[in-house]
Amino acid sequence: MAQKALRRRDQTAGCGLREVLAVSSADFTSPPAIPEVPTDPDTIKATCDSILLESFTAQDAWELGHFLYARLLPFSAQRATVISISLPNSNQVLFQTAVGSGLPPDNELWVERKRNTVLRLGSSTWWQQCKYGGNEEAFSKVFRMSPTQAEKYAIHGGGVPIRVQGVEGIVAVVVVSGLKQQDDHSVIFDVIHRHWE
């Protein structure tokens, strides 16, 4: 069955920022749970490997980034995270921010490595994680990467390709890093399911 192209429910400018403001004033004793994500590669490929949208503009990246920020904000007292949305060819960043303080300095490297994996293989880093059982050595061996080359890629959840219906290839990459890797992946799809239809 072909994946359905999704459209943002609220098309008004600033809808993501309004959600951030609403969440900022809420009192969370514990963050809302992030849904479980499948671990079977075939199920991931069929349900949550990439995001197919009707369109994706810089404005959509801005809204998606803010929706992710709002979703991750309740976790910020426990774990800092980073959100990054970039274009594929130039790695031009459309949206990037830290959520919470205390983000390790090497988190930017995780973002870059996840982005590289998505761009090279055209699939989510979570799918690669589950396909290779987390074995980065096996992953790098399949693609004949030297140790130096392998350092540029990560098969940890949180990197997802964005595609647009009728457009060949990936139009953007969204990365979340800082939570458990399955949550980094799942939170992206949780936000998409909440705000796109």
- Does residue 46 lie in a domain region? yes
What count of Cα atoms within 13 Å lies in the side-chain half-sphere of residue 170? 27
Domains: count for the chain: 1
Residues 45 and 51: their CA atoms lie apart, in Å, by 11
- Does residue 158 lie in a domain region? yes
Q: What pLDDT shows up at residue 178?
A: 95
State pTM to two decimals.
0.95
**Given pLDDT bands bounded at 50, 70 and 90, which one contains residue 1?**
low
Max Cα-Cα span within the chain: 50
Domain residue limits at 71: 36-195
Q: What pLDDT shows up at residue 130?
A: 97
Residues 152 and 44: their CA atoms lie apart, in Å, by 24
Q: What is the pLDDT of residues 19-75, one digit of tens each?
A: 999 999 888 778 899 999 999 999 999 999 999 999 999 999 999 999 999 999 999
- Does residue 15 lie in a domain region? no
Does position 182 have pLDDT exceeding 60, yes or no? yes
- Does residue 9 lie in a domain region? no
Q: Which residue shows structure tokens 């403001």?
A: 21
Q: What CATH number does the domain containing 160 carry?
A: 3.30.450.150
